Amino acid sequence: MYISDSIATFGRYLQLMWRVLALPERWRMFGREYVKEMASLGVDSLGIVVLISFFIGAVICIQIKLNIASPWMPGWTTGYTTREIMLLEFSSSIMCLILAGKVGSNIASEIGTMKVTQQIDALEIMGVNSASFVILPKIAALITMIPFLVIFSALMGFIGAYATSLVGVINVDDVTAGLQHDFNQWYVWMSLIKSLFFAFIISSVSAFYGYTVEGGSFDVGKASTDAVVSSSILILFSDIFLTSMLS
């Protein structure tokens, strides 16, 4: 029962995506929406990304220094480990989980509200492909913005780690050496590639839940919760596949 429900839901998701992936009827209108969404989904998320990444970078550094590093380990261990955690998992996967909460619920509730207040019907009546008009700019905008968010997140993590040296938790030379030690550029690319997939998951899955709302504000709330839960789970699973494929 549960499995057949899931398959049916996945089928409806694919049907919707099929309608979404149509060329825009008016590029001018698409462009307008795309820019608007880049601002609301991307730029407006910068604050939370910067804040969380800074503190997580700092806290990871402190934890490792206090609980793991020991005199017989090289001085760069703490900074190095912090960098690898940020680059490998935090800035892409965990950051996207957080964004699934912020951006996903935003997308699902916005589209869900448009659905229950008949704005979607109004688009259809005008002869607009409402799925493509409403959803495509959001998917495109989030995919465009996510690499920047990932880069900002990693950078802020490093700055957070560095900042701990200013309050005396760790020696400034150690943390600098650690952040630079044995740098592997591929890890950056891996983060960026993973984040593109996660961006697609967040935007398309949340849009699906919003677009298929029936009923009223209660159902919009439920759709927005479902969107966050489903996209988080999908991010976690796909993280395993992507990580093993890209490593």
Partner 1 sequence: MIELKQIRKAFDGREVLKGIDAVFEDGKTNLIIGQSGSGKTVLIKNVVGLYVPTSGQVLYDGRDINAMTKKEKALIHREMGMIFQSAALFDSMSVLENVMFPLDMFSDMNTADRIKRAKYCLSRVNLAGAEDKFPGEISGGMQKRAAIARAIALNPKYLFCDEPNSGLDPKTSIVIDQLIHSITKEYNMTTVVNTHDMNSVMGIGEKIIYLANGVKEWEGTKDQIMSSTNESLNSFIFASDLFRKVKEANH
> Minimum distance between the CB of residue 175 and partner 1, rounded to whole angstroms?
45
For partner 1, the closer of residues 182 and 214 by Cβ is 214
For partner 1, the closer of residues 111 and 161 by Cβ is 111
Using CA atoms, how far apart are residues 144 and 167, in angstroms rounded to an integer? 37
Q: Residue 26: which residues within 8 A CB-CB, separation 6 or more?
A: none
Q: Token pair for residue 35?
A: 């820019």
Using CA atoms, how far apart are residues 242 and 67, in angstroms rounded to an integer? 30
For partner 1, the closer of residues 123 and 196 by Cβ is 123
Where does residue 231 rank: exposed (0-12), middle (13-18), buried (19+ CB within 10 A)? buried
Using CA atoms, how far apart are residues 217 and 208, in angstroms rounded to an integer? 17
> Minimum distance between the CB of residue 124 and partner 1, rounded to whole angstroms?
6
For partner 1, the closer of residues 134 and 156 by Cβ is 134
For partner 1, the closer of residues 8 and 66 by Cβ is 8
Tokens 């701990």 identify what position?
164
For partner 1, the closer of residues 124 and 173 by Cβ is 124
Residue 167 DSSP label: T
CA 110 to each of CA 11, 17, 60, 114: distance values in angstroms, whole numbers, following the listed order: 23, 18, 35, 6
> Minimum distance between the CB of residue 45 and partner 1, rounded to whole angstroms?
18
> Minimum distance between the CB of residue 210 and partner 1, rounded to whole angstroms?
14
CA 108 to each of CA 51, 53, 98, 119, 164: distance values in angstroms, whole numbers, following the listed order: 24, 25, 15, 14, 38
Give residues in contact with partner 1 (CB under 8 A). 25-26, 28-29, 36, 113-114, 117-119, 121-122, 124-128
> Minimum distance between the CB of residue 110 and partner 1, rounded to whole angstroms?
8
> Minimum distance between the CB of residue 128 and partner 1, rounded to whole angstroms?
6
